[in-house]
């Protein structure tokens, strides 16, 4: 009877520990740390590769953790497992929606610095209210938070 209670207790604990491996909050955004990253169906080398990312620094969202493996989601909603060594803590973003304007200041009336097409990737520098400072193809400026994927509304 005691063994049954212990085993039952383990089943209650295991699902809640998924994501507790690193001690970091889930979900969270990171970026790909290599030019080629295998996306697998499960957390281990024995699981088949279902997709290969070929875009270093692409932002992805970690939604679960298991040992050295991270379940990630990309901006299109595709999910799978990657080894944590293939990820970087560097924050990046993708421009989403239509062509967007990069501005000199966090103000819709400020000078336009460039137009960014959808899926243009850039480095996230900081956010203030509804605006984020980003570097897109070596141009540093401000863009509305709603036009970027890779950052949460409350950050």
- The 10s digit of each residue's pLDDT in 40-95 is 999 999 999 999 999 999 999 999 999 999 999 999 999 999 999 999 999 999 99
For the entire predicted model, the pTM comes to: 0.84
* CATH code (residue 132): 2.30.30.40
Strands, sheet with 92-95, edge to edge from the N-terminal-most edge strand: 112-116, 100-103, 139-144, 131-136, 121-128, 92-95, 148-149
Is the pLDDT assigned to residue 34 strictly greater than 80? yes
Is the pLDDT assigned to residue 149 strictly greater than 50? yes
Identify whether 127 is part of a domain: yes
Token pair 């209670």 is found at 5
Radius of gyration of the chain (CA): 19
Question: Are 55 and 129 in a shared domain?
Answer: no
For residues 57 and 103, the answer to whether their CB atoms sit within 8 Å is no
Token pair 């200041």 is found at 105
Question: Are 30 and 62 in a shared domain?
Answer: yes
């Amino acid at each position: 009877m005691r063994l049954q209670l212990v085993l039952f207790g383990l089943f209650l604990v295991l699902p809640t520990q998924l994501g507790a491996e690193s001690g970091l909050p889930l979900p969270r955004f990171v970026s790909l740390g290599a030019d080629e990253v295998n996306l697998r169906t499960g957390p281990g080398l024995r699981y088949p590769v279902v997709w290969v990312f070929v875009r270093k620094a692409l932002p992805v969202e970690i939604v679960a953790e298991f040992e050295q493996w991270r379940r990630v989601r990309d901006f299109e909603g595709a999910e799978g497992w990657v080894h944590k060594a293939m990820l970087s803590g560097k924050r990046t973003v993708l421009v989403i929606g239509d062509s967007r304007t990069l501005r000199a200041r966090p103000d819709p009336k400020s000078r336009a610095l460039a137009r960014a097409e959808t899926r243009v990737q850039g480095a996230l520098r900081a956010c203030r209210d509804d605006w984020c400072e980003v570097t897109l193809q070596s141009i540093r400026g401000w863009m509305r938070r709603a036009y970027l994927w890779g950052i949460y509304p409350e950050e």
